[in-house]
């Protein structure tokens, strides 16, 4: 199937746009003057002075365009003075040529009358002034549009940099604890377990490096990566860490920012599994609610009011990691998302994320 070509912006090629507008504008002027002449009962001979007048105006405005282009680089006072002077001079030349052509064709053999010049100067001045005003208006529009594009590009760069920074903020404690566990297993001569943990860590780090920080992955890829991360942590916590996945198959192809859920699970491990001797369940769920993707990460650990956990831990349990996720969602989806962290009624903590259900990767500009 043939791809549909997108129309190019009219002012993408400014030089071509100028010539198109210049030609179309003066062609319209010629047509309007011609129709006006015929409406007033003039003969075909009237077309000659109209054609000369149109060609004169076309040529004079080309000169004015070159003049204005140079004046735009000057100080405002010089620009205004030069423009007004250029309009007056061009209107004077235009009127003299119009009057001379009219006198030569309509009154052959008669002497040139100054009254003819007075009769044409107002119309020609209005035409030249209107052309000049339109020229500056279009130029102002293009400058504003260019500045808006530059501002948007700078905002996109800043947003991309911030999103990349947030994406790369994997908790260094995870890497430290994993390497420390591997070191311990090596000292205990449990080389098979150490090798398995190192292999999983290598796969996880390779994933974080290969995937673009601003890119999106499918829900299926996100879950597989999360399971890889949990396999590493499970070698540390063993039966104390009990992950549960409740993922609706219909959302496996949905797209979301990569490693979005990992900090949430890491948060649950740190504040639900680690403090309790018996450990905790971590429930990761993903389902479709109408046309929205609903994600949640919950745990059966101590909630914010649990007295088994010291107050400082309760206060900081939703600080850095959750703030990171909030910022990433805001950067990726703007206002079209929601994030809620709350205590579970039966104990524990839960984070619920609501996103647009998207199959194809969305551009950041649209987001």
CATH number at residue 286: 3.30.565.10
In a domain, 273, yes or no: yes
* 11 SS3 class: coil
Same domain, 82 and 177: no
Domain extent for 328: 169-356
Same domain, 205 and 349: yes
Same domain, 155 and 292: no
In a domain, 222, yes or no: yes
Same domain, 125 and 181: no
DSSP state of 335: T
In a domain, 349, yes or no: yes
Same domain, 119 and 180: no
Q: Which of the listed residues 160, 183, 202 is the one where a domain comes to its end?
A: 160
**Residue-by-residue DSSP string for 230-283:** HHHHHHHHGGGEEEEEEE-GGGTT-EEETTSSHHHHHHHIIIIITT-TT-EEEE
| pLDDT by residue, tens only, the chain of 367 residues | 444 555 567 777 788 888 989 999 999 998 988 888 788 776 777 788 888 889 999 999 999 999 999 998 889 899 999 999 999 999 999 888 888 887 777 666 566 566 667 778 888 899 999 999 999 999 898 888 888 888 877 666 665 555 455 455 555 666 777 788 788 888 888 888 888 888 888 877 776 666 655 568 899 989 988 898 888 888 888 899 999 999 999 999 999 988 788 888 888 888 899 888 899 999 999 999 999 999 999 999 886 555 444 443 333 444 566 777 888 888 788 889 999 998 888 788 999 999 999 987 554 443 3
Q: What is the pLDDT of residue 160?
A: 56
The phi and psi torsions of 217 (rounded to 5 degrees) equal -130, 165
**Cβ-contact 264, 321 below 8 angstroms:** yes
Looking at the structure of the chain, the number of domains it has is 2
Same domain, 108 and 216: no
- 336 vs 1, 119, 287, 327, 355, CA distance in Å? 33, 64, 17, 13, 7
Q: Which of the listed residues 160, 186, 211 is the one where a domain comes to its end?
A: 160
Q: Which of the listed residues 133, 160, 187 is the one where a domain comes to its end?
A: 160
């Amino acid at each position: 199937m043939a791809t549909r070509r997108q129309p190019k912006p009219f002012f993408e090629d400014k030089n071509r746009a100028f010539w198109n507008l210049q030609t179309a504008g003066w062609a319209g002027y010629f047509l309007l003057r011609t129709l006006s002449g015929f409406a007033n009962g003039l003969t075909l001979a009237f077309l000659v002075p109209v054609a000369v007048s149109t060609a004169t105006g076309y040529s004079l405005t080309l000169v004015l365009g070159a003049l204005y282009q140079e004046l735009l680089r000057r100080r405002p006072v010089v620009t205004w003075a030069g423009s007004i002077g250029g309009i007056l001079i061009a209107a004077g030349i235009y009127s003299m040529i119009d009057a001379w052509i009219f006198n030569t064709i309509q009154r052959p053999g008669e002497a040139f009358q100054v009254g003819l010049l007075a009769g044409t100067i107002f119309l020609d001045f209005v035409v030249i002034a209107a052309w000049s005003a339109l020229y500056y208006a279009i130029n102002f529009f293009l400058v504003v549009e260019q500045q808006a594009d530059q501002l948007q590009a700078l905002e996109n760069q800043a947003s991309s940099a911030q999103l990349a920074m947030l994406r790369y903020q994997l908790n260094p404690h995870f890497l430290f604890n994993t390497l420390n566990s591997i070191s311990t297993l090596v000292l205990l001569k449990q080389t098979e377990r150490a090798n398995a943990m190192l292999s999983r860590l290598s796969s996880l780090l390779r994933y974080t490096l290969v995937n673009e920080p601003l890119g999106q992955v499918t829900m299926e890829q996100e879950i597989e990566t999360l399971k890889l991360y949990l396999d590493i942590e499970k070698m540390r916590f063993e039966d104390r860490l009990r992950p549960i996945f409740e993922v609706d198959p219909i959302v496996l192809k949905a797209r979301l920012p990569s490693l979005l859920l990992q900090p949430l699970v890491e948060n649950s491990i740190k504040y639900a599994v680690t403090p309790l001797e018996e450990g905790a369940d971590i429930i990761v769920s993903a389902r479709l609610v109408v046309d929205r993707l609903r994600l949640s990460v919950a745990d059966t650990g101590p909630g914010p009011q649990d007295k088994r956990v010291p107050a400082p831990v309760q206060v900081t349990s939703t600080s850095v990691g959750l703030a990171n996720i909030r910022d990433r969602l805001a950067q990726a989806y703007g206002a079209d998302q929601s994030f809620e962290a709350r205590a579970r009624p039966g104990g524990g903590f839960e984070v619920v994320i609501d996103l647009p259900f998207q199959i194809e990767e969305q551009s950041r500009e649209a987001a």
